Amino acid sequence: MARYGYGASVSGSRTPIASSSTPAPSGIPVASTASVVISGNATFNGTAVKKVNPQQCFGDAIFGGKLYVDSGVVYAYGLEENYGKILIPPQALIADEPVGGTPNFLDTPSNTWRLVYATYNSEENSYFNLNTSNNSSTDANYIPTSGWSPSITITAA
């Protein structure tokens, strides 16, 4: 005969039904995001558009060279003849294609997210970049929305 009340025991596992030691990914998913808005610094405010291999980020072979995605996905904006800004995820490769020169990989790949300002140097016949903001995230699948240094804000467009 079963007894009810204080001291009654319930058989079964005492293990929680749901547990996870891995936090859910945070940020904007790259796979489903065609463009992002970057703000927080007047020089670098703008809407960045997704570019994938072998799309050209910007540039013109007549006036210098082309900058294109060699592998991975990037977000480019401020597209002018020979300069622009690029949001680069970890492990993406960006190459330049200078007129009559050997391509280089624009200081890529990196292990973390970076926002760079890339410009064409006609004397060296190649592009170079200046890091403008960095994020320590190593997850290329999600664009980090916090933790940028110097601080910027990124939202899905």
pLDDT of residue 33 exceeding 90, the answer is: yes
pLDDT of residue 63 exceeding 60, the answer is: no
Split at pLDDT 50, 70, 90, the class of 139 is very high
Split at pLDDT 50, 70, 90, the class of 141 is very high
Look up residue 42 and give its DSSP letter.
G
pTM for this structure? 0.75
Q: Is residue 21 part of a domain?
A: no
Q: Is residue 16 part of a domain?
A: no
If we measure between CA atoms, which residue out of 137, 107, 29, 119 comes closest to residue 75? 29
Mean pLDDT of 17-43: 80
- Residues forming beta bridges with residue 66, ordered by sequence position: 59, 97
Q: Is residue 11 part of a domain?
A: no
Q: Is residue 7 part of a domain?
A: no
What pLDDT, on a 0 to 100 scale, did the predictor assign at position 38?
93
What pLDDT, on a 0 to 100 scale, did the predictor assign at position 32?
96
Q: What angle do CA 28, 90, 79 make, to 5 degrees?
A: 75
Task: Look up tokens 């699948």; give the residue.
Answer: 141
Q: Is residue 58 part of a domain?
A: yes
Mean confidence (pLDDT) of the chain = 77
Q: Is residue 146 part of a domain?
A: yes
Q: Is residue 19 part of a domain?
A: no
CA 12 to CA 28: how far, in whole Å?
Answer: 41
Neighbouring C-beta atoms of residue 58, cutoff 10 Å: 22
Contact 122, 114 (CB under 8 A): no
The residue range of the domain holding 102 is: 29-156
Max Cα-Cα span within the chain: 94
Per-residue pLDDT of 74-98, as tens digits, reads: 998 866 666 778 899 999 988 776 5
Task: Look up tokens 């072979």; give the residue.
Answer: 61
Q: Is residue 17 part of a domain?
A: no
Q: Which residue has the higher pLDDT, 148 or 118?
A: 148
Q: How many folded domains does the chain comprise?
A: 1
Strand spans (E) along the chain: 28-29, 35-39, 46-52, 56-59, 65-71, 73-77, 83-88, 93-98, 113-121, 126-135, 142-143, 153-156
pLDDT of residue 112 exceeding 90, the answer is: yes
Mean pLDDT of 22-36: 87
